[in-house]
Amino acid sequence: MPPGGMPPAQLPRPGSLNYVQGQVSSAGQPLTLQAVGHFALQPGQAVDTANDGYVEVLLTPGAFLRVGPNSEFSVTAVGLADTRINLTRGSALVEVDQLIAGTHLEVTLAATSVDMLKKGLYSFTTAPPGVSVFDGKADVVGQTVRRDVGKHDQLALEDNPKFKKSSFAESQAKLDPLYVWSSARSHAESDQNKLVSQNSAGYYPVGDGWFWDPYTSFYGFWGPGAFYSPFGFSFFGGYYPGFYHGYYGGFRPGFYNNRGRAFVGGVHGNGIAGGFHGGGFHGGGFHGGGRGGGGGRR
């Protein structure tokens, strides 16, 4: 049995806490790493970070909300089809590695909503209010005007009645502490994903696209195919090695490193001997929670 034991009873959903650093609280109660796997925000419930606080929250499968110091946010809707976050103070980044068609993923800043339409990386601030798009595409809707913003675009929301777009110094923006912290978290998720691709024993599928890693005690993501995060870190996906309707042999998931050279994960011959506990698979994604699928641990 791995050090973290069995997965938590709570299935991940939009609003689930996934990582905490420094002082973070909700309704006056501190949130620590021990709350990961046991705490999920309810609609209207706020989270505050102190001057050393960082927090990561799961959104729809493959999307992560990361909030920096001296910030406050809440979720106003939590669901696989409709997830909305209200940032009332501070700064936030949203990494979207997968966006299922028809999914509504939104961040609101005062009276302005930002709907994220594509995979990418989106930055939000309240002082001054604005949105910057490192990668992706978003629909920004104000009280009287609407504007699409895309890759490398920045949109100030104050003293900008026509929502005029501009570019921004990305090299400087990438030095921001929240960006640096978010990049480190994306790297940790990538490493977690690769370890599972090489040896699935001890890891547990716990919901659509998510698995629980008892070695790190946070949720990881396994998508429908191989991809890169907006930070440039590689992820496996597709058929899960070691467990797919009883099939164990022959599959070799491949992806490319940042130098463009292909390499493959460690699935050879008879495949991986370890399988998952519970949670069948269907069409390359996770479909939920029971002891389904054909396979299992051996």
How much is the pLDDT for 199?
A: 79
Which spans in 79-207 are helix H? 170-173, 177-198
Q: Using CA of residue 32, residue 37, residue 38, residue 43, what is the dihedral sign?
A: positive
**Nearest-angstrom CA–CA distance, 94 and 119:** 10
Q: Write the Ramachandran bin of 209: left for phi over 0, alpha for psi from -120 to 50, otherwise beta.
A: left
Q: Exposure of 54 by Cβ count < 10 A (0-12 exposed, 13-18 middle, 19+ buried)?
A: buried
Q: What type of residue is 77? A: A
Going from the C-alpha of 30 to that of each of 38, 58, 103, the distances in angstroms are 13, 19, 31
User: Could you give the CA distance from residue 220 to residue 206 in angstroms, rounded to a whole number?
Assistant: 10
The residues near 149 (Cβ < 8 Å, ≥ 6 apart) are 131, 133, 137, 138, 140, 155, 165
Residue 267 is predicted with a pLDDT of 31
Tell me how far apart the alpha carbons of residues 221 and 236 are, in angstroms, rounded to a whole number: 9
What's the full length of the chain, in residues?
298
Pairing outcome for strands 120-126 and 129-135: antiparallel
Q: What is the pLDDT of residues 80-135, one digit of tens each?
A: 889 999 999 999 999 999 998 888 999 999 999 999 999 999 999 999 999 999 99
Which pLDDT value is given to residue 295?
35
Across 34-38, 195-199, 218-222, least confident range: 195-199
The answer to whether 70 and 98 are in contact (CB under 8 A) is: no
Query: What average pLDDT does the chain have?
Result: 80
Domains of the chain: 17-169 (2.60.120.1440), 179-286 (no CATH)
- In the DSSP assignment, the letter for residue 261 is -
Alpha-carbon distances, residue 127 vs 78, 156, 250 (angstroms): 26, 10, 53
pTM of the model: 0.80
Burial 148-162 (b: 16+ CB within 10 A, else e): ebeeebbbbbeebee
First-to-last C-alpha distance (Å) of the chain: 13
pLDDT, tens only, 205-264: 887 788 888 888 899 998 888 899 999 999 988 755 433 322 222 233 333 233 333 333
Where is pLDDT greater, at 237 or 26?
26
